[in-house]
């Protein structure tokens, strides 16, 4: 995990108005908004690197409710398209969503299929987000 966080921080692109990292209180508000507990890895990602911008993929954020990457909004869209509520989206891409299960595993879901992929968000970040 630490090596992936370091790589993400090294590749972080400067932006005019960077996002802030959330605190625990904000994560509780997000859980109440989506009616789902955030898996531990997702909590760690949100609190440590959800302000990182690198490549063309834009993973989920929680600090700005007006952002197109705002978790409650992205979840509402994904669920409205048929993604099971047992999943939370972490990134929209390729006509579907990378999403996280409660056990922390990451898969790709679209309206036609769901494919298993990574054991945790950090492996996904290394293989997909950083490979972008």
Give pLDDT, residue 17.
86
The CB density around residue 33, as the number of other CB atoms within 10 Å, is: 16
Mean pLDDT of 10-32: 94
124 token code pair: 């996904």
Q: Report the share of the chain in percent with pLDDT over 70.
A: 100
Indicate the DSSP class of residue 118: E
Indicate the DSSP class of residue 116: E
Query: pTM surpassing 0.85?
Result: yes
- CA angle, 113 then 79 then 51, to 5°: 100
């Amino acid at each position: 995990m630490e090596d992936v966080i370091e790589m993400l921080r090294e590749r972080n692109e400067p932006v005019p108005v960077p996002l802030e990292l959330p605190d625990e209180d904000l994560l509780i508000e997000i859980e109440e908004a989506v009616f789902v507990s955030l898996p531990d890895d997702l909590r760690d990602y949100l609190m440590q690197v959800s302000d990182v911008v690198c490549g063309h993929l834009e993973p989920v954020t929680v600090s700005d409710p007006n952002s197109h990457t705002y978790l409650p909004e992205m979840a509402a869209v994904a669920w409205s398209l048929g993604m099971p509520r047992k999943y939370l989206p972490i990134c929209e891409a390729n006509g579907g969503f990378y999403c996280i299960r409660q056990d922390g595993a990451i898969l790709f879901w679209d309206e036609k299929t769901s494919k298993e992929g990574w054991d945790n968000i950090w492996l996904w970040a290394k293989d997909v987000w950083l490979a972008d």
